[in-house]
Amino acid sequence: MRKLLCAAAATLIGAASLFSFAGCGKGNGKIRVSIGMWPDSSLKQDIAMFEQWEKQFEEQYPQYDIVGDKYDYSADTIAAKATAKQLPTVFQTYFTEPQKLIERKWIADITDEITELGWLDNMDADMREAVSKDGRCYGVPRDGYGMGMFLNLAMLYDVGVIEKNEDGSYKLHDEGGEPLYPTTFDEVREVSELIVESYENTYGLVVLSANMNGGWQFSNMAWNFGCEALQVEAGGKVTANLNDPAAVKALEWIQEMANNGLIYPDASLSYSDWYAKIGSGNVAMAFCGSDALMLPVTNFNFNKDDIAFVPMPTGDGVSRRSLYGGTPYVFAGNATKEQIKGALLFLKYMGRSPETDEISVNAIELGHKTAQAKAMPIIQTIKPWVNEDYLAKTQELEERYINVNTYYYQDFFDTIEEFKRAEEPYYCQDMYKLLDNALQNVISNPGLANCKSLLDTANSQFQTNYLNKL
């Protein structure tokens, strides 16, 4: 969620034969394809990379006109954009959204096009399911992420939580191999106490509560306190379970942290704020997605060698889950077949396909080199494609360009397949918004808030206003 595109590039030489093209776009007679993932004008290196892809693509496919049309998906704005037919040809969303977009006919069925390209059967099965309905496919996965805990290793070392090896690298495990970093929410609280005692105007953890990011993180916390599901399906009915006793315990933990001054005292923080607080040295720990670890580095010059990313903590000593999601590319419902074909081919030039031809490999390397130039941490990633040649080649390139101590990430990637869990299935962003409200009340008034009552209210509203519509 809310993350910068930094990645690989790929091209497909001779791919023009895949499709026969027809139709027109702008007055110049070319087919106009608007790219909603175009970088912000301030990101000069990213802009240069996109412009290079554009140049290469239009040389290979002169019938197309590629147009940058930056669009940051929002559940609050999508209806107006779709109704006015102002959506870019291709844009990014979240894996919680395609089913709603499909139902409302805001995105296009691309099954025939990606079948002809040979991509359909190469998708990660979970990601493919998220963008499919009734056997038809409506999107292409960009990447996946798992939620985990970001650690400022320098701070944790300063307060004695972790140690150092003789070579100066951080030591995250004891002699028996047990983690020195916090693995339970109780330990997160204890480390936060050490941070607050040792630093001025610094907090142990940042907790989000706005723009649906708070509810997103809180759902993972509730699972890890023992909540089996925030939405329960039985007998053909879906019932809200936001006030599950384990969810109440999770919210009470946040309340305790706020009461004791251990979390950053702001009830309006969204995803951009976690890396701002980390990058500015205001907090030591944060929950985030594995695809966003570069953000404190690229935005605040955080030392990439002081980053560790570890599994989410457990609240009940047993439950360990990592919310598993990602970013799909979807296509405007009013886009023509020719525009969709062009947009899919352009994704190849962005390195977002399962192709592994020579030009693709060179382009993926360009993505890594651009990341290096921005001093970004290059780490292992969760792959959207499963064909063996793609996995082998991307792993080979990652190993060549990885510029961090992989030991600091090993526990997360060793357990993600075991711990991963998809987001709740229905009206997920709306559910997150209601949970945001509860979080905001607790963080604003930790001494007065009634966690059970707040979640009772959210649960009733979610059932009445959303789940009863199913």
| Distance (Å, whole) CA 353 – CA 96 | 21
pTM assigned to the model:
0.88
Q: Could you tell me if 156 and 122 lie in one domain?
A: no
pLDDT bin (cut points 50, 70, 90) of residue 10 is very low
For strand 322-331 and strand 139-152, is the pairing parallel, antiparallel, or unpaired?
antiparallel
For the chain, how far is it from start to end, CA to CA, in angstroms?
25
Q: What is the pLDDT of residues 236-295, one digit of tens each?
A: 999 999 999 999 999 999 999 999 999 999 999 999 999 999 999 999 999 999 999 999
Asked if residue 80 has pLDDT above 80, the reply is yes
pLDDT bin (cut points 50, 70, 90) of residue 362 is confident
Domain boundary among 389, 407, 425: 407
pLDDT bin (cut points 50, 70, 90) of residue 374 is confident
- Residue 9 within a domain: no
pLDDT at 21: 35
Asked if residue 19 has pLDDT above 60, the reply is no
Question: What CATH number should be reported for the domain holding residue 377?
Answer: 3.40.190.10
Asked if residue 1 has pLDDT above 70, the reply is no
Q: Could you tell me if 425 and 276 lie in one domain?
A: yes
- The residue-averaged pLDDT of 337-344 equals 97
Q: Could you tell me if 255 and 353 lie in one domain?
A: no
Q: What is the pLDDT of residues 376-414, one digit of tens each?
A: 899 999 999 999 999 999 999 999 999 999 999 999 999
Minimal CA–CA distance to 96: which of 5, 215, 267, 8? 215
- Residue 1 within a domain: no
Element (H, E) at 316: none
| Distance (Å, whole) CA 238 – CA 350 | 40
Q: Mean of the per-residue pLDDT values for the chain?
A: 92
Q: Could you tell me if 225 and 105 lie in one domain?
A: no
For strand 139-152 and strand 307-311, is the pairing parallel, antiparallel, or unpaired?
antiparallel
- Residue 370 within a domain: yes
Asked if residue 18 has pLDDT above 90, the reply is no
- The residue-averaged pLDDT of 434-443 equals 98
Minimal CA–CA distance to 256: which of 201, 209, 193? 193
pLDDT bin (cut points 50, 70, 90) of residue 342 is very high
Q: Could you tell me if 197 and 266 lie in one domain?
A: yes
Asked if residue 348 has pLDDT above 80, the reply is yes
Asked if residue 27 has pLDDT above 80, the reply is no
Q: Could you tell me if 197 and 239 lie in one domain?
A: yes
Domain span holding position 38: 15-144+325-407
Number of domains into which the chain is organized: 2
Task: Determine whether 219 is exposed, middle or buried from the number of CB atoms within 10 Å of its CB (0-12, 13-18, 19+).
Answer: buried
Minimal CA–CA distance to 3: which of 43, 49, 34? 43
- Residue 302 within a domain: yes
Minimal CA–CA distance to 203: which of 123, 278, 311? 278
Q: Could you tell me if 395 and 442 lie in one domain?
A: no
What single-letter amino acid sits at 29? G
pLDDT bin (cut points 50, 70, 90) of residue 94 is very high
The alpha-helical segments, DSSP class H, found in 350-387 are 358-373
Q: Could you tell me if 290 and 429 lie in one domain?
A: yes
Asked if residue 22 has pLDDT above 70, the reply is no
Task: Determine whether 220 is exposed, middle or buried from the number of CB atoms within 10 Å of its CB (0-12, 13-18, 19+).
Answer: buried
Domain boundary among 407, 442, 461: 407
pLDDT at 275: 97
- Residue 331 within a domain: yes
Q: What percent of the chain has pLDDT over 90?
A: 87
Residue 259: φ, ψ to 5°: -60, -35
Q: Could you tell me if 196 and 272 lie in one domain?
A: yes
Asked if residue 14 has pLDDT above 60, the reply is no
Q: What is the pLDDT of residues 29-58, one digit of tens each?
A: 999 999 999 999 988 999 999 999 999 999
| Distance (Å, whole) CA 352 – CA 136 | 20
pLDDT at 114: 97
* Helix, strand, coil percent values for the chain (each to nearest 5): 45, 15, 40
Question: 464 is written with which tokens?
Answer: 């009445």
Q: How far from the centroid of its chain's Cα atoms is residue 211's Cα?
A: 14
Q: Could you tell me if 116 and 214 lie in one domain?
A: no
pLDDT at 70: 94
Q: Could you tell me if 60 and 152 lie in one domain?
A: no
- The residue-averaged pLDDT of 60-81 equals 94
Domain boundary among 407, 425, 455: 407
* Measured CA angle at 345 (ends 327, 103), to 5 deg: 45
- Residue 428 within a domain: yes
pLDDT at 8: 36
Q: Could you tell me if 113 and 25 lie in one domain?
A: yes
The alpha-helical segments, DSSP class H, found in 24-93 are 44-60, 78-83
E-strand spans in 177-280? 203-206, 231-234, 237-240
Beta partners for 123?
Answer: 385
Q: What is the pLDDT of residues 113-159, one digit of tens each?
A: 999 999 999 999 999 999 999 999 999 999 999 999 999 999 999 99
- Residue 10 within a domain: no
- The residue-averaged pLDDT of 169-181 equals 98
Q: What is the pLDDT of residues 292-323, one digit of tens each?
A: 999 999 899 999 999 999 999 999 999 999 99
